[in-house]
Amino acid sequence: MTGASEPVHSDAGTVHLRRAGTSVLLALPAHPDATGAPDGSLPAVVHWGADLGDLTNEAAAAVERATRPVVPHSALDRAFRLPLLPQPARGWTGRRVLEGRVLGGAGLPAVPLLAGAGPAEVEDGDETTAARVTFRSADAELGLEVRTELELTPEGLLRVRHTLRAGTGAGAAAGFEVAHLLSCLPLPAPATELLDLTGRWCRERAPQRQPIHQGAWVRDSWHGRTGHDATLLMVAGTPGFGFGRGEVWGVHTAWSGDHTTWVERLPTGEAVIGGGELLGPGEVRLEAGEGYTTPWVYAGWSDRGLDGLTDRFHRHLRARPQHVERPRPVVLNTWEAVYFDQDLDGLTALADAAAAIGVERFVLDDGWFLGRRDDQRGLGDWTVDPDVWPAGLTPLVEHVVGRGMEFGLWVEPEMVNQDSDLFREHPEWMLRGRETDPPPWRHQQVLDLRVPEAYAHLRDALLGLLDGHAISFLKWDMNRDLVDTGPGVHAQTQAVYRLLDELKSAHPEVEIESCSSGGARVDLAVLERTDRIWASDCIDALERQSIQRWTSLLVPLELMGAHVGGPEAHTTGRRHRLAFRAATALFGHFGIEWDLRGLSEAESTELAGWIGLYREHRSLLHTGRLHRADSPDESLWVHGVVAEDGGRALYAVVRTATSADAVPSPVRLPGLDPGRDYEVRVVGPVPAERAPRLQLSEGWTPGPLLLSGAALGTVGLVPPVLAPEDAVVLEVSAVPR
């Protein structure tokens, strides 16, 4: 493997891990004051970033010595090197990463004072496994032990987590309540600019940038789920970094409940980037012998901008043993086609129309279960409504499967309407923080999965559906924040994970989508248990261009649902041409959310053509490397996927708005092999009425353009699209010289 080597152990206690062009150099001091660490015994990250090469013991020790901090005026008498668990008592004046309260007696607040507890354990791994360092620290007075794990994956991602255990010393009998236990890494001085994401329902993953000033930029999320405004990645980098330029360091907190991500720079010069779970009072109370393990915090470095960071995360996800391997089927979801207006005749007709144009998976959305005529009742009663489906779902399932499609079903298992049989029978199963009910949200409340009986009831209902029908896909929704739920989010999140794991164990063939009011639960922890995410409830193609562009910062295209809606977007009222809607959905897991029964012959033909283009290129789209161009024209976006061998690529050139320039400048196609020649052609259905809007320059005639990868990546070509809110797809194929 490029950049892999045996770990280096110097006399001063350094460990050097290398993977995929990334180096992590740790100081693991063997003796007090050996490295300038704040207490002489807690490990510190000396370097996280570019590969340092094959360091000898002496060279690693020299790097450690050369970077030891000095003692400033009016400060502690001992130099401060930032450890992995910075502590106030040792000189850290930034955000506290470990706090709690001693149980029993006066229950006093406590800031543990940790010291090393034994030598580090180092496992170098191999070509396909992570290099790992584990070390232990302890506070003997409070009876606490912390086990810290660092892993450098084969893709060059660093991930960190801690396990705190009570009952190891003098305070063992009392126990400990954890207020928070966070993970952070030092941020190098060249990182002076910050990018994170925010958003709301139907406008997820909106980027925002700012300089990194002294102080903290903290993104706390108290939604009880990941949140529409969650920053998938918080990225710090060199000034002006972009998709293809600059050095960047980014982190992601892999947790689906309350969490935080932050960057902080102190006046003394230290800076950190980190994240972790946010805990409410009383959520984690450890009796003697019990432990709490934090979520993984993933960290990535790249010297080729955001695309390099994205590439590491995409490669990591694709290397997982459970990653979806088979071609991602074309989906039709019934929500915007029929809403709650369900009947067998109408839906079989819709299934027939879908099968006729190449749809491969038919998903029945909300409205099929007991009493569900609108969004105000029925949640929790996961039995088929006999008034709507007198013969059950079997006739529809059999019809769909008979037309050569898979059948999928929408569920929202974690929720309950107060107008439901389940709530009337078990009102005590509602998740509450007090005697009064939490405020309703979309007319629904949360089912308390911490209650064993509630959990078992829900699990058995879902297993009954999967056991009794040929269901290949569950659209798993979750349509509210968890507010006024008391100290329940941590255990509720763990229960959801356990439920997903149980269902997957019983039905490993069933794929599950993480949907949460659209894109409010998108994170690496839920993706460990699901097979795709729903990026947003908004399928307006113009909004989706931005939503998908930034969601793909973390999530590969095969795991991101992207659908073609009707001519008028249901959430915004905008109208777009089919070509723009389809070209947008092409760069994801392609699907449709449109009543196909009313299509004209021309619309059916064009949509079938886009489905054919997706099916032809999905193996490339879902295995290749994603590239996004940095363009001086903010209204002209370019993104594409290049095959691993560089032999072919597919790009979208997108005009999001009118431009100040009447004649567009050439756009670059990043990621191609500069030493190869390529043919470039426009692909996809182009109806006659749309052709004039493309305004192809004379350079495109009489046939495809032939240019080198170097020319396409540095000079570019004049794009064949000028109309606002339009897109064109370019196929790029290598040719022999």
Question: Which residues form the catalytic set?
Answer: 477, 537
d(CA 586, CA 638): 14
Q: State both tokens at 366.
A: 């909300």
Q: Is 699:717 a contact under the CB 8 Å cutoff?
A: yes
Contacts of 701 (CB under 8 A, 6+ apart): none
Looking up tokens 């507890």, which residue turns up? 117
Backbone CA torsion sign across 433, 437, 441, 447: positive
d(CA 6, CA 18): 8
Helix axis angle, 489-506 to 452-468, nearest 10°: 30
Relative to beta strand 158-166, strand 271-277 is: unpaired
Residue 182 DSSP SS3: coil
d(CA 187, CA 191): 7
Beta strands in 316-441 (DSSP E): 331-333, 361-364, 406-411, 415-416
Q: State both tokens at 215.
A: 């102080």
Contacts of 295 (CB under 8 A, 6+ apart): 161, 253, 254, 255, 259, 276, 277, 525
β partners of residue 679: 706, 733
Q: What are phi and psi of 67, to 5 degrees?
A: -110, 10
Question: Based on the number of CB atoms within 10 Å of its own CB, is 607 exposed (0-12), middle (13-18) or buried (19 or more)?
Answer: buried
Question: Based on the number of CB atoms within 10 Å of its own CB, is 208 exposed (0-12), middle (13-18) or buried (19 or more)?
Answer: exposed
d(CA 14, CA 7): 9
Q: Is 41:90 a contact under the CB 8 Å cutoff?
A: no
Element (H, E) at 315: helix 305-318
CA neighbours closer than 13 Å in the CB half-sphere of residue 99: 13
Q: State both tokens at 13.
A: 């206690």
d(CA 381, CA 633): 52
Q: Is 664:716 a contact under the CB 8 Å cutoff?
A: no
Residue 654 DSSP SS3: strand
Neighbours of 124 (CB within 10 A): 18
Q: Is 278:483 a contact under the CB 8 Å cutoff?
A: no
Q: State both tokens at 314.
A: 């995409």
Relative to beta strand 158-166, strand 144-152 is: antiparallel
Looking up tokens 């959990």, which residue turns up? 455
